[in-house]
Amino acid sequence: MARLHAAIAAAVVAATAGLAASPPPAAAQTFVSLRIGFAPPPLPVYVQPAIPGPDYIWTPGYWAWSPDDGDYYWVPGVWVRAPRPGLLWTPGWWGWSDGYYVFHSGYWGPHVGFYGGVVYGFGYDGFGFQGGYWNRGAFFYNRSVTNITNVNVTNVYNKTVVVNRTTVNNVSYNGGPGGAAARATAEQRAFSQEAHVAPTPQQQQHVEAAHATPAFFARANHGQPRIGAVARPAVFNGAGMTAAHAPTPYRPPAAQGAAAAWNGRPPAAPPPRSPQPHGPPPASPYQQGWRGPPPAEQRAMAAAPERPRPPGLPPPQQRPAFHPDRPPPPRPERPPPRPQPQPHEQRDHPHGEGFRGR
């Protein structure tokens, strides 16, 4: 269960229990309290799988963080249905703040808000969404950025999307060394104050399945996951998958556990102390009938060579050998105490004071 909550927290805002098909709206955008000391890997390059049917919305892949494993893991892009018509997806994003990378969760809303200027592709060019729009309860797709090849979708149009950036490095975060330099506009800040909807249960299941797949972790794939995107949530085999490759080599820090400043979990409690037995403490060896050192130590002491004595030092007194089975020899009795002189009465001398002779 801990891994489940950690995976959801690292990817999206945790939804309330019993989330229905149309989840209740949230007040505004929130972000999960994850502060990581090193940047996520670059976004891998992949091809968008074909749309499975009408009214599906594309949610791009991203790197999530696992507090249990102390590592980033890839959440493949996937087609999902919106909680209700009219809602668009704002992707989650990593942002540099006070020396750490902080994750801001994705959400559903009437407009696409700020997502760090990260170019996720397929309509998410860093600002807004160019992949389509809602009109009278139906979604219309921009064919120039949407893979529509295997289904009959009639609500389509063509509009060229130009990504205005000079460096193509697939950066996956905003700010910090090498990050995207975008800042939220006044309009995007207003969008962030709108009523938002939490990710759907299918999206949560998709994140959990990615977290449970060891091959998606950056420590294992070096920033190049085997699967870049899928057509259905949490389905990582069969048709509908597309491969991924890393645009640049990823070299994770040597000590990832130490680099994570705080991963959103409270510090682990110290291990409980072993219970102490009740009652008085054990008796000392002298109270338990101590019978001298063990026989091995006695033999070692007897076999030890005698050290040479300095000249002029008298030899030590010989002591009787120690025998643990024999009682100690009786101590010599002390002589009786000598009588103390008794005080005597002082008398006047006949020739004392005032004697002047005869």
Q: Tens of pLDDT along 130-173?
A: 999 999 999 999 999 999 987 888 899 999 877 654 445 699 99
Residue 89 falls inside a structural domain: yes
* CA 269 to the chain's CA centroid: 14
- Looking at every residue in the chain, the average pLDDT score rounds to 77
Among 353, 63, 55, smallest CA distance to 207 is for 63
Q: What is the pLDDT of residues 261-312, one digit of tens each?
A: 444 444 444 455 555 445 555 544 444 444 555 566 656 665 656 666 666 6
What local confidence, expressed as pLDDT, does residue 167 receive?
A: 45
Q: What type of residue sits at position 188?
A: Q
Residue 321 falls inside a structural domain: no
- Spatial neighbors of 265 by CB under 8 A, at least 6 apart, are 6, 67
Residue 33 falls inside a structural domain: yes
Residue 253: pLDDT band with limits 50, 70, 90? confident
Number of domains in the chain: 1
From residue 339, give the alpha-carbon distance in Å to each of 82, 336, 344.
114, 9, 15
Residue 166 falls inside a structural domain: yes
- Spatial neighbors of 62 by CB under 8 A, at least 6 apart, are 11, 43, 74, 75, 91, 92, 93, 120, 172
Q: Are strands 77-81 and 227-230 parallel, antiparallel or unpaired?
A: parallel
Residue 15: pLDDT band with limits 50, 70, 90? very low
What local confidence, expressed as pLDDT, does residue 264 receive?
A: 45
Q: How far apart are the first and last CA of the chain?
A: 126
Residue 239 falls inside a structural domain: yes
Domain with 8, as residue range(s), is: 2-13+26-259
Average pLDDT over every residue of 113-141: 96
Average pLDDT over every residue of 180-209: 95
Residue 332 falls inside a structural domain: no
Residue 230 falls inside a structural domain: yes
Residue 345 falls inside a structural domain: no
* d(C-alpha 83, C-alpha 81), whole Å: 7
Average pLDDT over every residue of 181-187: 94
Kind and range of the H or E run holding 156: strand 156-157
SS3 at position 81: strand
Average pLDDT over every residue of 217-225: 94
